[in-house]
Amino acid sequence: MSADLSIELAPRNRRGLRLANPVMTASGTFGYGTEYSELFDIQKLGSIVCKGTTLEPREGNPQPRLVETACGVVNSIGLQNIGVKALVREKAPVWAKWRVPVIVNIAGETVGEYRQLAEALNGVKGVAGLEVNISCPNVKAGGAAFGADPACAAEVTAAVRAASSLPVIVKLTPNTGDITAVARAVADAGADAVSLVNSYKAMVIDIKTRRPSLGSVTGGLSGPAIKPIALAMVYEVASAVGVPVIGCGGISNAHDALEFIMAGASAVQVGSASFLNPRTSLDVLVGIETFMEADGIKSLKEIIGAARK
């Protein structure tokens, strides 16, 4: 009998969010899924998280928006996306025919915008859940990220929770003093699960032009460079909250993914690694299966949090 890789990511939610396996794609690195469906069988994945979605379409930040750095990449895409109306009209009907559940990542500048996004997506066929990106600047509070402060993060979570019956995953930013305090606050405010981490604030300078390399000066660092730091955060958050944790940050292969799972993650997201090899997420899945088979592990649950026991 083959091993059981399935996982329930929203046990507190009436609808639930059951994944056939723990391998997800990270928002902003896998488009709307459709772009990759010609490259490999994306239906084999546990879940796809789509691009960050805002109320209105966005063109994103000035170029350049992506700079390579040692063991990683710094990006400042600025949430370029088609907007929620076009997503509901054009993308959701395609997803509704898929076996793989699609989660919509939402981003706003005010609590009201997050609420409106949650309302617009509630009950839409093809949308299996929401991932709330709280790394965005809160314009009414001077531009600090919602996710930097437990009270602001809880306010956004409560608004989304009240506006939608869909499973709600809150995606935490590592750019805060105490990520476990934010994780506890959002879990108490009704999050079904938390995902972490988003990218780390970073910059690169072009010494020839003596100017920042990114059009918007700073951006977010992702890729292998952040993996050990993200792993420590996942370990700490998984010990602090009672809801499922989704690990993300520099996952490039099954070994990386298994580290996150043993740190306490119930599922993992593959991000920047898909840029180097679009099939990375599938390779990660196959590698987890191979590891479990070789070690005689019958169920993924046997190894979730193994390093914390």
Catalytic residue annotation: 136
- Alpha helices, DSSP H, located in the chain: 84-86, 92-95, 111-121, 150-163, 179-188, 227-240, 254-263, 273-276, 280-294
Q: With CB under 6 A as the contact rule, which of the stretches 73-81, 83-91, 112-120, 292-300 interacts with ligand FMN? A: 73-81
Residues 156 and 290: their CA atoms lie apart, in Å, by 40
Q: How far is the CB of 169 from ligand FMN (least distance, A)?
A: 10
Q: Does residue 266 belong to the site contacting ligand FMN (CB under 6 A)?
A: no
Q: Does residue 199 belong to the site contacting ligand FMN (CB under 6 A)?
A: yes
Q: Does residue 27 belong to the site contacting ligand FMN (CB under 6 A)?
A: yes
- What are the counts of helices (DSSP H) followed by strands (DSSP E) for the chain? 9, 16
Question: Which of helix, strand or coil describes residue 158?
Answer: helix
Q: How far is the CB of 108 from ligand FMN (least distance, A)?
A: 12
Q: How far is the CB of 61 from ligand FMN (least distance, A)?
A: 11
Residues 63 and 69: their CA atoms lie apart, in Å, by 17
Q: Does residue 263 belong to the site contacting ligand FMN (CB under 6 A)?
A: no
Q: How many degrees, rounded to 5, is the angle at CA 188 between CA 84 and CA 130?
A: 20
Residues 150 and 162: their CA atoms lie apart, in Å, by 18
Q: With CB under 6 A as the contact rule, which of the stretches 38-46, 70-78, 178-186, 299-307 interacts with ligand FMN? A: 70-78
Q: How far is the CB of 74 from ligand FMN (least distance, A)?
A: 9
Question: Which positions lie near ligand FMN, rule CB under 6 A?
Answer: 26-29, 51-52, 73, 75, 77, 79, 105, 133, 171, 198-199, 222-223, 226, 248-251, 271-273
